[in-house]
Amino acid sequence: MKYVLASASPRRERLLKRVLQEFSVKAAKVDEMLRAGEGLASAAKRLACKKAEAVASKNPRAIVIGADTVAYLGKRNFRKTNSEKKAREILKFLSGKTHIVATGVCVIFPKGTGKRRVCYCEKARVRMKKLAPNQLKNYLKSGEWRGRAGSYDISGKGRALVQGVKGERETVIGLPLKRLRKLLAPAKKW
Protein backbone atom coordinates (compact mmCIF):
# COMPACT_ATOMS: atom_id res chain seq x y z
CA MET A 1 0.00 0.00 0.00
CA LYS A 2 1.26 3.48 -0.88
CA TYR A 3 1.09 6.26 1.74
CA VAL A 4 1.29 10.01 1.17
CA LEU A 5 1.70 12.73 3.77
CA ALA A 6 -0.15 15.86 2.61
CA SER A 7 2.11 18.32 4.39
CA ALA A 8 5.26 20.35 3.88
CA SER A 9 6.12 20.16 7.60
CA PRO A 10 9.43 18.42 8.34
CA ARG A 11 8.20 17.85 11.92
CA ARG A 12 5.17 15.90 10.67
CA GLU A 13 7.42 13.93 8.35
CA ARG A 14 9.70 12.97 11.28
CA LEU A 15 6.70 11.95 13.38
CA LEU A 16 5.15 9.84 10.62
CA LYS A 17 8.45 7.94 10.29
CA ARG A 18 7.68 6.52 13.74
CA VAL A 19 4.58 4.86 12.27
CA LEU A 20 5.45 4.13 8.63
CA GLN A 21 8.72 3.06 7.08
CA GLU A 22 7.86 4.29 3.59
CA PHE A 23 5.73 7.16 2.41
CA SER A 24 5.98 10.11 0.08
CA VAL A 25 5.44 13.76 0.95
CA LYS A 26 3.33 16.07 -1.19
CA ALA A 27 2.54 19.53 0.09
CA ALA A 28 -1.07 20.56 -0.27
CA LYS A 29 -1.70 24.12 -1.38
CA VAL A 30 -5.02 25.12 0.10
CA ASP A 31 -6.56 28.30 1.48
CA GLU A 32 -5.99 28.13 5.24
CA MET A 33 -8.25 31.04 6.17
CA LEU A 34 -10.53 30.47 9.12
CA ARG A 35 -14.26 30.93 8.65
CA ALA A 36 -16.13 33.57 10.64
CA GLY A 37 -17.46 32.02 13.85
CA GLU A 38 -15.73 28.69 13.23
CA GLY A 39 -14.44 26.84 16.29
CA LEU A 40 -10.67 26.52 16.19
CA ALA A 41 -10.57 22.75 16.74
CA SER A 42 -13.20 22.37 13.99
CA ALA A 43 -11.07 24.57 11.75
CA ALA A 44 -8.01 22.35 12.30
CA LYS A 45 -10.05 19.29 11.34
CA ARG A 46 -11.59 21.00 8.29
CA LEU A 47 -8.21 22.22 7.05
CA ALA A 48 -6.65 18.78 7.56
CA CYS A 49 -9.44 17.36 5.37
CA LYS A 50 -8.91 20.01 2.68
CA LYS A 51 -5.20 19.18 2.55
CA ALA A 52 -5.82 15.43 2.39
CA GLU A 53 -8.52 15.84 -0.29
CA ALA A 54 -6.27 18.01 -2.46
CA VAL A 55 -3.51 15.41 -2.44
CA ALA A 56 -5.85 12.37 -2.62
CA SER A 57 -7.42 13.71 -5.82
CA LYS A 58 -4.01 13.32 -7.49
CA ASN A 59 -3.13 10.04 -5.69
CA PRO A 60 -6.32 7.92 -5.82
CA ARG A 61 -4.56 4.62 -4.99
CA ALA A 62 -2.78 5.88 -1.90
CA ILE A 63 -3.69 6.33 1.73
CA VAL A 64 -3.35 10.09 2.22
CA ILE A 65 -2.75 11.71 5.60
CA GLY A 66 -3.45 15.41 6.09
CA ALA A 67 -3.01 17.47 9.26
CA ASP A 68 -3.39 21.03 10.48
CA THR A 69 -2.50 22.55 13.85
CA VAL A 70 -3.90 25.57 15.66
CA ALA A 71 -2.95 27.05 19.01
CA TYR A 72 -5.46 29.13 20.94
CA LEU A 73 -6.42 30.62 24.27
CA GLY A 74 -10.09 31.47 24.65
CA LYS A 75 -11.24 32.87 21.32
CA ARG A 76 -7.79 34.16 20.38
CA ASN A 77 -5.92 31.97 17.89
CA PHE A 78 -2.21 31.80 17.22
CA ARG A 79 -1.76 30.54 13.66
CA LYS A 80 1.53 30.37 11.82
CA THR A 81 3.35 33.62 11.23
CA ASN A 82 6.46 34.77 9.45
CA SER A 83 6.45 38.16 11.20
CA GLU A 84 8.92 38.46 14.09
CA LYS A 85 6.82 41.29 15.53
CA LYS A 86 3.71 39.07 15.54
CA ALA A 87 5.67 36.12 16.99
CA ARG A 88 6.93 38.38 19.82
CA GLU A 89 3.33 39.49 20.55
CA ILE A 90 2.10 35.89 20.60
CA LEU A 91 4.86 34.61 22.86
CA LYS A 92 4.49 37.56 25.26
CA PHE A 93 0.76 36.89 25.43
CA LEU A 94 1.26 33.14 26.07
CA SER A 95 4.02 33.71 28.64
CA GLY A 96 3.04 32.15 31.97
CA LYS A 97 -0.31 30.92 30.63
CA THR A 98 -1.86 27.63 29.57
CA HIS A 99 -3.21 27.41 26.04
CA ILE A 100 -4.69 24.68 23.84
CA VAL A 101 -3.07 23.14 20.79
CA ALA A 102 -5.44 21.24 18.49
CA THR A 103 -4.28 19.12 15.58
CA GLY A 104 -6.82 17.94 13.06
CA VAL A 105 -6.02 14.77 11.14
CA CYS A 106 -7.72 13.36 8.05
CA VAL A 107 -6.89 9.99 6.54
CA ILE A 108 -8.36 9.22 3.13
CA PHE A 109 -8.32 5.60 2.01
CA PRO A 110 -8.52 4.44 -1.62
CA LYS A 111 -11.66 2.75 -2.91
CA GLY A 112 -11.90 -0.97 -2.18
CA THR A 113 -10.23 -0.83 1.24
CA GLY A 114 -13.45 -0.83 3.27
CA LYS A 115 -12.94 2.70 4.57
CA ARG A 116 -13.12 5.99 2.79
CA ARG A 117 -12.15 8.71 5.22
CA VAL A 118 -11.53 9.20 8.92
CA CYS A 119 -11.17 12.71 10.33
CA TYR A 120 -10.59 13.67 13.95
CA CYS A 121 -9.01 16.29 16.18
CA GLU A 122 -6.74 15.79 19.20
CA LYS A 123 -6.06 18.48 21.78
CA ALA A 124 -3.29 19.11 24.31
CA ARG A 125 -2.88 21.76 27.00
CA VAL A 126 0.46 23.55 27.02
CA ARG A 127 1.71 25.56 29.99
CA MET A 128 4.28 28.17 28.95
CA LYS A 129 6.96 29.34 31.36
CA LYS A 130 7.03 32.98 32.35
CA LEU A 131 9.43 34.17 29.66
CA ALA A 132 12.31 36.46 30.59
CA PRO A 133 12.96 39.26 28.05
CA ASN A 134 16.38 37.80 27.18
CA GLN A 135 14.94 34.31 26.73
CA LEU A 136 12.29 35.67 24.36
CA LYS A 137 14.85 37.74 22.43
CA ASN A 138 17.17 34.73 21.95
CA TYR A 139 14.33 32.46 20.85
CA LEU A 140 13.12 35.00 18.29
CA LYS A 141 16.70 35.31 16.98
CA SER A 142 16.73 31.55 16.33
CA GLY A 143 14.00 31.91 13.68
CA GLU A 144 12.57 28.56 14.77
CA TRP A 145 9.17 30.18 15.44
CA ARG A 146 8.55 30.81 11.72
CA GLY A 147 5.57 28.93 10.36
CA ARG A 148 4.70 27.38 13.75
CA ALA A 149 1.29 27.49 15.41
CA GLY A 150 1.80 29.44 18.63
CA SER A 151 5.16 30.73 17.34
CA TYR A 152 7.23 28.00 19.01
CA ASP A 153 8.47 24.49 18.24
CA ILE A 154 8.26 22.14 21.21
CA SER A 155 10.41 19.60 19.35
CA GLY A 156 13.28 22.10 19.09
CA LYS A 157 14.63 25.02 21.10
CA GLY A 158 11.05 25.98 21.94
CA ARG A 159 10.85 23.14 24.46
CA ALA A 160 12.80 25.43 26.84
CA LEU A 161 9.81 27.82 26.77
CA VAL A 162 7.34 25.16 27.88
CA GLN A 163 6.70 24.22 31.49
CA GLY A 164 4.51 21.22 30.75
CA VAL A 165 2.09 19.46 28.39
CA LYS A 166 -1.11 17.68 29.34
CA GLY A 167 -1.98 15.40 26.45
CA GLU A 168 -0.01 13.85 23.63
CA ARG A 169 3.18 15.82 22.96
CA GLU A 170 2.98 14.86 19.27
CA THR A 171 -0.32 16.77 19.05
CA VAL A 172 1.64 19.94 19.89
CA ILE A 173 4.33 19.10 17.32
CA GLY A 174 1.68 18.61 14.63
CA LEU A 175 0.73 14.94 14.21
CA PRO A 176 -0.81 12.96 17.08
CA LEU A 177 0.35 9.36 16.71
CA LYS A 178 -1.64 7.15 19.13
CA ARG A 179 -4.89 7.13 17.16
CA LEU A 180 -3.10 7.29 13.81
CA ARG A 181 -1.13 4.11 14.61
CA LYS A 182 -4.36 2.21 15.35
CA LEU A 183 -6.03 3.59 12.25
CA LEU A 184 -3.19 2.62 9.92
CA ALA A 185 -2.42 -0.78 11.48
CA PRO A 186 -5.03 -2.72 9.43
CA ALA A 187 -3.99 -0.86 6.27
CA LYS A 188 -0.43 -2.21 6.52
CA LYS A 189 -1.83 -5.72 6.03
CA TRP A 190 -3.63 -4.97 2.74
pLDDT in tens, 45-82: 999 999 999 999 999 999 999 999 999 998 889 988 89
Cα angle 61, 45, 29; round to 5: 60
Whether 190 has a pLDDT exceeding 50, the answer reads: no
- pLDDT for res 31: 81
The predicted-structure confidence for 25-37, as pLDDT tens digits, reads as follows: 999 888 877 777 7
- Write out pLDDT tens, residues 95-144: 999 999 999 999 999 986 667 899 999 999 999 999 999 999 999 999 99
Asked if residue 150 has pLDDT above 60, the reply is: yes
Catalytic positions are 68
2-189 architecture in CATH? Alpha-Beta Complex (3.90)
